[in-house]
């Protein structure tokens, strides 16, 4: 069934999930309930988003104590950069699952290949000059082994990684293949090389910021001077949308699906929440796929670029890209 990725052991992961970053608790609870009503079953959060409790409340209301309904869901959360040390992994995982109010999560990801300094109670520790407190001693393999161990508890069904580069992905695979890879992918940053590598390795990819996260892009523009167009307003995207009587967002998401990826668009608007999962009854032509492929800017299109964090260049895992 094209709507799902089949993971090891036969579990099905819906290819369209609901992204939850950067929404207030109240707005998030409401939009998660709307997403459930619209048919979303895959929900993506992270310890670092500080919204697991709100997501958990909305999910628990829907589950209503029925194990069969819990089984319908695919819930993803992530180890925060401040927990990227083997000895901290169990503690951070426990905190996540407690806040989510679930007995197990379906997928647990290493959020980043670098670490922030562990400061209890502060997931985003900063230096006096405002830069992040980066821990330069991250041992990626040791953290991955600790994450893999979580599976023994039965409280996590699958484990994977996010934001790694190809070399890092191969290194992790030498220990054990991640069940899933979550990376930034959208029309400006198409990740052709990484996608080819993950396909070779047989690792399904979920695209974050599939619509180009315009707010995040604008914030980065201020720092770097790079200009990011609004993907939803690009003439070629609008023209293809008109041809199919769809919205630009649906065209961009359909493009992501036809590239073989999953995607986790975020929205707090009920109409757009519905739109973003109504993608299975139209198809882009080869010509349209080629026109959208031509929008790629490679590394210059990357929005979530950790290399811009001051002090990062000294990190042994730098530059976190390909």
Backbone torsion region of residue 46, taken as left when φ is above 0, otherwise alpha when ψ lies between -120 and 50, otherwise beta: beta
Nearer to ligand A2P, 208 or 320 (CB): 208
Rounded distance, CA 203 to CA 164, Å? 13
Q: Are 235 and 44 in contact (CB under 8 A)?
A: no
Which of 268, 278, 297, 322 binds ligand A2P (CB under 6 A)? It is 268
Which of 38, 201, 232, 236 binds ligand A2P (CB under 6 A)? It is 232
Rounded distance, CA 65 to CA 54, Å? 17
Q: How far is the CB of 23 from ligand A2P (least distance, A)?
A: 8
Q: What is the 3 state secondary structure string of 29-48?
A: HHHHHHHHHHCCCEEECCHH
Which of 203, 228, 276, 317 binds ligand A2P (CB under 6 A)? It is 276
| Catalytic residue, candidates 40, 49, 208, 228 | 49
Decide if residue 45 touches ligand A2P (CB under 6 A): no
Question: Has 104 been annotated as catalytic?
Answer: no
Q: Could you tell me which stretch among 89-97, 143-151, 169-177, 204-212 binds ligand A2P (CB under 6 A)?
A: 204-212
Q: How far is the CB of 44 from ligand A2P (least distance, A)?
A: 10
136 CA to centre of own chain: 24
Q: How far is CA 190 from CA 46, 118, 219, 255, 256, in A?
A: 23, 33, 21, 11, 9
Q: Could you tell me which stretch among 97-105, 111-119, 168-176, 271-279 binds ligand A2P (CB under 6 A)?
A: 271-279
Residues numbered 8-27 forming contacts with ligand A2P, rule: CB under 6 A: 19
Rounded distance, CA 43 to CA 270, Å? 16
Which of 37, 119, 175, 215 binds ligand A2P (CB under 6 A)? It is 215
Decide if residue 190 touches ligand A2P (CB under 6 A): no
Decide if residue 265 touches ligand A2P (CB under 6 A): yes
Task: Give the chain's largest Cα–Cα span.
Answer: 54
Decide if residue 213 touches ligand A2P (CB under 6 A): yes
Rounded distance, CA 156 to CA 316, Å? 29
Nearer to ligand A2P, 138 or 256 (CB): 256
Decide if residue 275 touches ligand A2P (CB under 6 A): yes
DSSP-derived secondary structure for 71-107 = HH-EEEEEE-GGG-SGGGHHHHHHHHHHHHT-S-EEE
Task: Tell me whether residue 124 is annotated as binding.
Answer: no
Q: Could you tell me which stretch among 4-12, 33-41, 261-269, 308-316 binds ligand A2P (CB under 6 A)?
A: 261-269
Q: How far is the CB of 131 from ligand A2P (least distance, A)?
A: 24
Decide if residue 267 touches ligand A2P (CB under 6 A): yes
Give the residue from 87, 100, 95 showing the smallest Cα distance to 143. Answer: 87
Residue count, binding to ligand A2P (CB under 6 A) = 18
Rounded distance, CA 218 to CA 229, Å? 9
Which of 249, 261, 284, 312 binds ligand A2P (CB under 6 A)? It is 249
DSSP-derived secondary structure for 185-215 = -BTTB--HHHHHHHHHHT--EEEESTT--HH
Q: Are 288 and 204 in contact (CB under 8 A)?
A: no
Q: How far is the CB of 183 from ligand A2P (least distance, A)?
A: 13
Give the residue from 263, 268, 234 showing the smallest Cα distance to 248. Answer: 234
Decide if residue 51 touches ligand A2P (CB under 6 A): no
Binding residues for substrate: 111
Residues that bind ligand A2P (CB under 6 A): 19, 209-213, 215, 232, 247, 249, 265-269, 272, 275-276
Residues known to be catalytic: 49
Binding residues: 111
């Amino acid at each position: 069934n094209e709507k799902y990725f089949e993971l090891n052991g036969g579990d099905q992961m819906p290819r369209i999930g609901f992204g939850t970053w950067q929404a207030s608790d109240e707005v998030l609870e409401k939009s998660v309930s709307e997403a459930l009503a619209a048919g979303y079953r895959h929900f993506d959060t992270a310890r670092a988003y500080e919204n697991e409790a709100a997501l958990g409340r909305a999910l628990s209301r829907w589950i209503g104590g029925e194990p069969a309904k819990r089984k319908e869901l695919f819930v993803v959360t992530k180890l925060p950069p401040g927990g990227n040390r083997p000895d901290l992994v169990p503690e951070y995982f426990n905190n996540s699952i407690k806040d989510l109010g679930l007995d197990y999560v379906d997928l647990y990801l290493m959020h980043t290949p670098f670490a922030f300094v562990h400061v209890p109670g502060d997931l985003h520790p900063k230096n006096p000059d405002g830069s992040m407190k980066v821990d330069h001693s991250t041992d990626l393999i040791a953290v991955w082994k600790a994450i893999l161990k979580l599976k023994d508890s039965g409280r996590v069904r699958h484990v994977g990684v996010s934001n790694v580069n190809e070399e890092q992905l191969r290194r992790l695979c030498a220990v054990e293949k991640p069940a899933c890879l979550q990376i930034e992918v959208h029309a400006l940053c198409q990740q052709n090389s990484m996608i080819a590598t993950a396909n070779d390795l047989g690792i399904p990819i979920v695209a974050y910021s599939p619509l180009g996260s315009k707010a995040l892009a604008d914030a980065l523009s201020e720092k770097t001077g790079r200009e990011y167009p609004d993907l939803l307003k690009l003439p070629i995207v609008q023209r293809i949308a008109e041809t199919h009587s769809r919205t630009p967002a649906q065209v961009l998401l359909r493009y992501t699906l036809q590239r073989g990826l999953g995607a986790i668009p975020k929205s707090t608007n009920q109409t757009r929440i519905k739109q973003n999962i109504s993608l299975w009854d139209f198809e882009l032509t080869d010509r349209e796929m080629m026109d959208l492929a031509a929008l790629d800017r490679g590394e210059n299109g990357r929005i979530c670029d950790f290399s811009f964090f001051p002090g990062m260049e000294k990190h042994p895992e730098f530059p976190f890209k390909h």
